[in-house]
Amino acid sequence: MKPRQVVSETTACTGSPLTLVQHDGRHFLECEGRQVDASHLGSPAMQLVTTLSRPFRPARQPRLVFLGLGFGHALRAAREALPQEKASFVVLPEAAAIPDWLSQHLYSDPLDDERVLIESLSPFDLLPTELEGSQGIVGDLDHLDALAPKSWSITSPTILANYRERLKHGGLLGLLATRPVPGLEKELRRAGFEVATDLVPLSQNSKKNRILYLARKGNYLRSH
């Protein structure tokens, strides 16, 4: 087993320290020893995005917004699930350095697609009006909570109302968590979403599951 190696360090958008670590052939993003993401644990995020993208396959210009980048697992799944030339994938990274880290250190660069748009916004900011009409918003709550400011909470009525406003009718908010988030389903419904949950395995051979939240704004109307 190879020793842990600190590959690079930076500061996240919230001021927290963020470290890229390599260990035993795998990469990890860590914040003060707390894991933010891992290069080998992308299966739940990919399943989430594959499921979320399914209703939007007929859309001519689907747009997904990613609250955080991590190792790009969700983004990689979106690129495959939505092959439309005019699709757009808007990424709000946890730190400005992460896109360069992925391009330099991953065997397959998830950003190597002209449809990917890296924004300077924080994933903890309210989404601007320019993102109105988006088909989907995607976030991993474990990754976000590792870096989130104390004032940020996914159950905030203001935050959920903002997400709902930015989604088109029938758009989906997709979230992942290791444990049930107290009050989240209630607040999603209160904000005007229809909510479904599911369990997905952490990895192919894992007995541990992650919780998948899918919240729909009304019913999806097919674009013509």
Query: What does the pLDDT look like over 43-57, one tens digit per residue?
Result: 999 999 999 999 999
The burial of 218, by beta-carbon neighbours within 10 Å (0-12 exposed, 13-18 middle, 19 or more buried), is given as middle
Tell me the pLDDT of the chain averaged across its residues. Answer: 91
- Indicate the domain borders of the chain: 41-216
CA distance 54 to 63: 13
Dihedral pair phi/psi, residue 215, rounded to 5°: -120, 120
By the 8 A CB rule, do 144 and 154 touch? yes
By the 8 A CB rule, do 51 and 212 touch? yes
By the 8 A CB rule, do 62 and 56 touch? yes
Confidence tier at 149 by pLDDT (50, 70, 90): very high
Tell me what the mean pLDDT of segment 24-50 comes to.
89
Tokens of 100: 């360069």
**Angle at the Cα of 45 from the Cα atoms of 59 and 75, rounded to 5 degrees:** 50
Helical ranges in 34-190 per DSSP H: 43-53, 73-81, 98-105, 141-147, 157-166, 184-190
Confidence tier at 201 by pLDDT (50, 70, 90): confident
This prediction has a pTM of: 0.93
- Alpha carbon 125 to its chain centroid, in Å, reads 14
Confidence tier at 14 by pLDDT (50, 70, 90): very high
Query: What does the pLDDT look like over 77-110, one tens digit per residue?
Result: 999 999 999 999 999 999 999 999 988 887 778 8
Q: Which residue has the tokens 């109302």?
A: 161
CATH 3.40.1400.10 fits 41-216, yes or no: no
Around 216, how many Cα atoms within 13 Å sit in the side-chain half-sphere? Answer: 14
The answer on pLDDT for 205 being more than 60 is yes
Query: What does the pLDDT look like over 117-134, one tens digit per residue?
Result: 999 999 999 999 999 999
